[in-house]
Amino acid sequence: MLEGHTMEEVLIVRFSEIALKSPRIRRWMISRLRKNLEDALKAAEVGGRVEEKWERIYIWTEDVKKASEAAGRVFGVRSLSPAVAYEYMDLEDLIEKAATWAEECVRGRKFAVRARRDKDLPFTSMDIMVKLGERLKPLGEVDLTSPQVTVNVEVRGRVVYLFSEVLEGPGGLPLGTQGRALSLLSGGFDSAVSSWYVMRRGVELDYVTFSLAGPLQMRDALLVAGVLSSHWSHGYRPTLHLVDFSGVLDEIERVVQAPLRGVVLRHLFYRAAEMIADEEGHLSLVTGESLGQVSSQTLSNLSAASAGIGLPILRPLIGMDKEEIIGKAREIGTAELSEKVVEYCAIARGSSINLSRERFIQVLKNMNLRVLEEAVEGRWKVKLPDGAPGALSEIESRIESWRYRGDEGEDVVRVNYGKGVQVVTPNGFPLTGRELKRALKGLKGGEGVHRLPRGFTYVFSCPTGGWAVRMVSLLRSLGYDAYYSH
Ligand code: ATP
Ligand code: MG
């Protein structure tokens, strides 16, 4: 901060709506913004000092470029300007310093000068603009309507700041000024973008992923949550809750007719998320739903699925088109990961009929919701970003060790779920195809275990991988030798 120096590089940070708040709130929000900026600089390994003032925040650093990249991902920042700061003695000295700095910028170009200053100074902004404009006129052409370069002069007390660039920040409010919420994150485009929009309004977000395909979906979500936390959560360390939903899917398949399953699954997502939110103190849920995007997101199905949910559900994408959402995902850096994510589960993918609330509540009455509690209780909590590498390698190794790499040996039973279930059994396998299917079906209820022969290797495949991985998980938990293959 110019202690003993005559010139120093600095990043000027302007804030967005904070400036409209009452003095008390404004001071509190600026202070939180400063902390978040400090956290962002630390994460980017940029040394520097963040100075908080009423009008602006100044980041005094030797690496202004790296600092502006980091600060450009902090919510509450409206814009940024890499600048130089000088101490000046009087107006003449100020003009001299500004002219020397600006010479190279304006040479041979159309330029404008803009100035701002503290009210209590003995000269006006107009004085600065006129005098500096005159000094620079011989070097270029003054053009106030469409300049190629603008020389900006800001005078605060004894210090003058000079800059020509204004970079856009993400806007919004500082993270941590609007409480905490729980975002339902699938790994797809929508839930990543909806999380971003809610964080942008100052909400600290944790995440929950309901794994419909064992470790496959966990990996997708972990990678996306990793980007959201390392790029956009400065000032907060989120937790990702990974919930194995296979038991819940089994219960849905047991009780609910196919066309209703999508809406029931959605409701159970909310229910499970609400249990976590109650336990962890979240004020609200967040989803990436957009009205009418798919048949389970019609207004009547969203209304039915929300029946009985006490917490507010924030849906920041409700009025957005898919193209806009994907465009935003590219900007925030999650698109590349989401592109690779497939919808693993046929229930989540399938079409839904429109359902009234009354009918929906009837359907739910037949379900045993104990499975939901068990899933939530058994969840795996990953602290981001530090816990991500460890969790990822654990998930990866599970995925790898479940993948079938053997040859078509004698003792391999192949089960392929495409259009219906097809099976290929080896010589000496004691069941017919039909008996095998029945035994597999019975596994979930426990009866099939007695009928399904041991001593064979079971290999499952399906178009998206979700069903196959769930079968592998189930058989392995019962002590069978089981793998999935593509
Ligand atoms: P996304 O792009 O976020 O996957 P989508 O277009 O695939 O959304 P749906 O699958 O209907 O739409 O999901 C709508 C919302 O429900 C998601 O944005 C997300 O908030 C939540 N959601 C869906 N699947 C899961 C899941 N497996 N775990 C957690 N949340 C989920
Ligand atoms: Mg999805």
Domain annotation covers residue 162: yes
What pLDDT, on the 0 to 100 scale, is given for residue 3?
A: 60
Higher pLDDT, 112 or 410: 112
Last residue of a domain, one of 364, 382, 401: 401
Last residue of a domain, one of 376, 401, 426: 401
CATH code at 24?
3.30.2130.30
Interatomic CA distance for residues 269 and 184, integer angstroms: 8
Interatomic CA distance for residues 295 and 262, integer angstroms: 9
Contact indicator for 59, 50 with CB cutoff of 8 Å: yes
Domain annotation covers residue 1: no
Spacing, Cα 343 to ligand 2 middle (Å): 6
R_g over Cα of the chain:
30
* Co-location of 382 and 436 in the same domain: no
Q: Residue 343 pLDDT > 80, yes or no? A: no
Contact indicator for 112, 147 with CB cutoff of 8 Å: yes
* Co-location of 416 and 395 in the same domain: no
Cis peptide before 463 (omega within 30 of 0): no
Q: How confident is the model at residue 297 (pLDDT cuts 50, 70, 90)?
A: confident
Q: Which among 189, 191, 217, 297 is the best mutation to test ligand 1's pocket, defined by most ligand atoms within 8 Å of the CB?
A: 191
* Co-location of 389 and 272 in the same domain: yes
Spacing, Cα 287 to ligand 1 middle (Å): 7
Interatomic CA distance for residues 354 and 285, integer angstroms: 23
Domain annotation covers residue 273: yes
Q: Residue 32 pLDDT > 90, yes or no? A: yes
What pLDDT, on the 0 to 100 scale, is given for residue 340?
A: 86
Which atom from ligand 1 is nearest to the alpha carbon of 325? 2
Interatomic CA distance for residues 194 and 210, integer angstroms: 17
* Co-location of 110 and 150 in the same domain: yes
Q: How confident is the model at residue 410 (pLDDT cuts 50, 70, 90)?
A: low
Q: Residue 4 pLDDT > 60, yes or no? A: no
Which ligand has the shortest distance to the CA of 218?
1
Contact indicator for 338, 189 with CB cutoff of 8 Å: yes
Q: How confident is the model at residue 349 (pLDDT cuts 50, 70, 90)?
A: low
Higher pLDDT, 15 or 448: 15
* Co-location of 290 and 160 in the same domain: no
Which ligand has the shortest distance to the CA of 276?
1
Residues 6+ apart with CB under 8 A from 222: 209, 240, 242, 382, 388, 391, 392, 395
The arithmetic mean of pLDDT across residues 334-344, rounded, is 87
Rounded to a whole number of angstroms, the distance between the first and last alpha carbons of the chain is 60
Percent of the chain at pLDDT > 90 equals 73
Q: Residue 412 pLDDT > 60, yes or no? A: yes
Q: Whose CA is nearest to atom 26 of ligand 1?
A: 186
Q: Over the chain, what is the mean pLDDT? A: 92
User: What is the residue range of 427's domain?
Assistant: 412-484
What pLDDT, on the 0 to 100 scale, is given for residue 408?
A: 58
Please write the tens of the pLDDT for every residue from 54-102: 999 999 998 999 999 999 999 999 999 999 999 999 999 999 999 999 9
* Co-location of 17 and 56 in the same domain: yes
Q: Which among 190, 216, 228 is the best mutation to test ligand 1's pocket, defined by most ligand atoms within 8 Å of the CB?
A: 190
Which atom from ligand 1 is nearest to the alpha carbon of 192? 3
Which atom from ligand 1 is nearest to the alpha carbon of 210? 28
Domain count, the chain: 3
Q: Whose CA is nearest to atom 12 of ligand 1?
A: 289
Last residue of a domain, one of 401, 435, 458: 401
Interatomic CA distance for residues 241 and 218, integer angstroms: 10
Spacing, Cα 398 to ligand 1 middle (Å): 24
What pLDDT, on the 0 to 100 scale, is given for residue 470?
A: 85
Spacing, Cα 188 to ligand 2 middle (Å): 5
Spacing, Cα 401 to ligand 1 middle (Å): 27
Please write the tens of the pLDDT for every residue from 268-295: 999 999 999 999 999 999 999 998 777 7
Which atom from ligand 1 is nearest to the alpha carbon of 349? 10
- Measured in whole angstroms, the distance separating CA 249 from the mean position of its chain's CA atoms is 26
Domain annotation covers residue 175: no
Q: Residue 350 pLDDT > 80, yes or no? A: no
Higher pLDDT, 215 or 128: 128
* Co-location of 117 and 31 in the same domain: yes
Q: Whose CA is nearest to atom 8 of ligand 1?
A: 190
CATH code at 468?
3.40.250
Q: Residue 464 pLDDT > 90, yes or no? A: no
What pLDDT, on the 0 to 100 scale, is given for residue 405?
A: 87
Domain annotation covers residue 174: no
Spacing, Cα 184 to ligand 1 middle (Å): 7
Which ligand has the shortest distance to the CA of 196?
1
Domain annotation covers residue 109: yes
Q: Are strands 57-60 and 141-142 parallel, antiparallel or unpaired?
A: unpaired
Spacing, Cα 138 to ligand 2 middle (Å): 60
**β-pair partners for 415:** 423, 460
> Worst-scoring range by mean pLDDT, 5-14, 163-172, 441-450?
441-450
pTM: 0.91
* Co-location of 74 and 199 in the same domain: no
Interatomic CA distance for residues 486 and 397, integer angstroms: 17
Q: Which among 182, 183, 184 is the best mutation to test ligand 1's pocket, defined by most ligand atoms within 8 Å of the CB?
A: 184
Domain annotation covers residue 406: no
Which ligand has the shortest distance to the CA of 194?
1
The arithmetic mean of pLDDT across residues 105-124, rounded, is 94
Spacing, Cα 9 to ligand 2 middle (Å): 45
Instruction: Kindly list the protein residues that place their beta carbon closer than 5 angstroms to ligand 2, a single-atom ion.
Output: 186, 188
* Co-location of 241 and 195 in the same domain: yes
**β-pair partners for 151:** 113
Who lines ligand 1 at CB under 6 A? 184-186, 188-191, 209-210, 212, 269, 287-289, 293-294, 296-297, 348
Q: How confident is the model at residue 156 (pLDDT cuts 50, 70, 90)?
A: very high
Q: How confident is the model at residue 409 (pLDDT cuts 50, 70, 90)?
A: low
What pLDDT, on the 0 to 100 scale, is given for residue 2?
A: 65
Q: Whose CA is nearest to atom 20 of ligand 1?
A: 287
What pLDDT, on the 0 to 100 scale, is given for residue 370?
A: 94
Please write the tens of the pLDDT for every residue from 186-210: 999 999 999 999 999 999 999 999 9
* Co-location of 271 and 354 in the same domain: yes
Domain annotation covers residue 19: yes
CATH code at 363?
3.40.50.620
* Co-location of 14 and 162 in the same domain: yes
Q: Are strands 7-15 and 380-383 parallel, antiparallel or unpaired?
A: unpaired
The three-state (H, E, C) secondary structure of the chain, written as one string: CCCCCCEEEEEEEEECHHHHCCHHHHHHHHHHHHHHHHHHHHHCCCCCEEEECCCCEEEECCCHHHHHHHHCCCCCEEEEEEEEEEECCCHHHHHHHHHHHHHHHHCCCEEEEEEEECCCCCCCHHHHHHHHHHHHHHHCEECCCCCCEEEEEEEECCEEEEECCCEECCCCCCCCCCCEEEEECCCCHHHHHHHHHHHHCCCEEEEEEEECCHHHHHHHHHHHHHHHHHHHCCCCCCEEEEEECHHHHHHHHHHCCHHHHHHHHHHHHHHHHHHHHHHHCCCCEECCCCCCCCHHHCHHHHHHHCCCCCCCEECCCCCCCHHHHHHHHHHHCCHHHHHCCCCCCHHHHCCCCCCCHHHHHHHHHCCCCHHHHHHHHCCEEEECCCCHHHHHHHHHHHHHHHECCCCCCCCEEEEEEECEEEEECCCCCCCCHHHHHHHHHHHCCCHHHHCCCCCCEEEEECCCCHHHHHHHHHHHHCCCEEEECC
Spacing, Cα 346 to ligand 2 middle (Å): 12
Residue 466: which of 215, 185, 208 has the closest Cα?
Answer: 215
The arithmetic mean of pLDDT across residues 380-391, rounded, is 96
Which atom from ligand 1 is nearest to the alpha carbon of 317? 18
* Co-location of 221 and 368 in the same domain: yes
Spacing, Cα 187 to ligand 2 middle (Å): 7
